[in-house]
Amino acid sequence: MSKADTIPLGDIMPKKTGSVDPSDFPDEVFDLYSVPAFDTGQPEALVGGKIGSAKQVVQPRDVLLSKIVPHIRRCWVVGGNRGRRIIASGEWIVFRNQAVEPNFLRYLLVEDRFHAKFINTVSGMGGSLMRARPSYVSEIEIALPNPTEQRRIAGELELADGLRRTRRYALELDDTFLPAAFLHLFGDLEHGTGEKTELHEVADIITGYPFSSAEYVSGGDTIKLCRGANVLPDRIDWSDLAIWPKSKTEKLENYFLKIGDVVMAMDRPWINEGFKVTQIRPEDCPALLVQRVARLRGKDGVPNEFLYHLLRQPMFTRHCRPTETTIPHISPTEIQSFAFRLPLLPLQTRFAELVSRHERLRSVQRESLRQAEHLFQSLLHQAFST
């Protein structure tokens, strides 16, 4: 091949991959490349009797591109032979050519400019019904440099990708530290003997102001509104932003949020990531609290950091049972009546200091991840800019 041949993807899509119905071999173990297994980075090792339908037969070094829910960029390379037949679900488009470096192609297939073309091949209406059409994908042209250049590009991208994966893993691993420290310092606050304290005794708890959406504005001198839709586990998401004119805030002093305030969504309080409770960070202010969001502040020296991590404990989520209505919600009374064994204030303060040191470390780690992500995206753009 020349240094940068342009070819249609159809040239590296096998006409037939072969198929097998694993249920015909109920006791044989297969390596199955399924869409759910993609997030684990490893194929599923399953006996044929547990695999429901016919699958494609694939080979080591094949490149698989998911055609379902295409905005999620799923692409991986079939690994080496582990002594089992290798199969893949029909949701993968298979690419196979000995002249193509698999990792080079994998990165090319998730790069922004290719992805824009890939999205244009999609049919179906939303969500899991959306699918890329392989016949259309086969017509997309890609620039394919010589094998030596492919390996060089793939090697650089793999190093940068490995760096960002390491940074991301460090943050994920660090997520377990504070919950473990909470349990170590305070022990079981739910069971045992002794008098319990209700949450309203140690926290100032209010719910938000009933702003009218008809009075939301789109510009001018405004302030953000913290609604239930903005509250996520461990962060505020302002992408769905509602704003209010500052000229109408003169009687709303009680609803201004402060750095460190604990906020909790009372409607639809759980999502996949967990319980919708977080603390207000400097970048979240100024903001006003909206109806159906609760705000907690510690009383008598009780640190907000202790309250926040208390609300993340399983004992609190067991206490709060959302009403089974059209919109599940937690009542203010349930929040206020939550009872627990209150640790000594010096222990609470020690935990708050630990949280502060930990957050400084997390800031450094997040910046390291941001830089690693930027490096990878820059190299990816540069690699496929011609």
Q: What is the pLDDT of residues 299-344, one digit of tens each?
A: 999 999 999 999 999 899 888 875 566 677 888 999 999 999 999 9
Binning pLDDT at 50, 70 and 90, where does residue 2 land?
very low
Q: Is the peptide bond before 322 cis (omega within 30 degrees of 0)?
A: no
Rounded mean pLDDT of the chain? 91
Q: What is the pTM of this model?
A: 0.69
Share of the chain above pLDDT 90, in %: 74
Q: Is the dihedral of CA 290, 293, 299, 305 positive or negative?
A: negative
Say what the pLDDT of residue 1 is: 40
215-241 burial string, b = 16+ CB within 10 Å, else e?
eeeeeeebbbbbbbbbbbeeebeeeee
Q: How far apart are CA 382 and CA 281, in angstroms?
A: 35
Distant-in-sequence, close-in-space partners of 63: CB < 8 Å, separation ≥ 6: 75, 76, 77, 78, 94, 95, 96, 100, 102, 105, 106, 109
Among positive and negative, which fits the CA dihedral 243, 244, 245, 251? Answer: negative
282/336 Cα distance (integer angstroms):
26
Query: Quick check: 175 pLDDT over 60?
Result: yes
Residue 34 parent element (H or E)? none
Q: Are 238 and 224 in contact (CB under 8 A)?
A: yes
Which residues partner with 231 through β-bridges? 236
Above 60 in pLDDT, residue 3?
A: no
d(CA 139, CA 123): 16
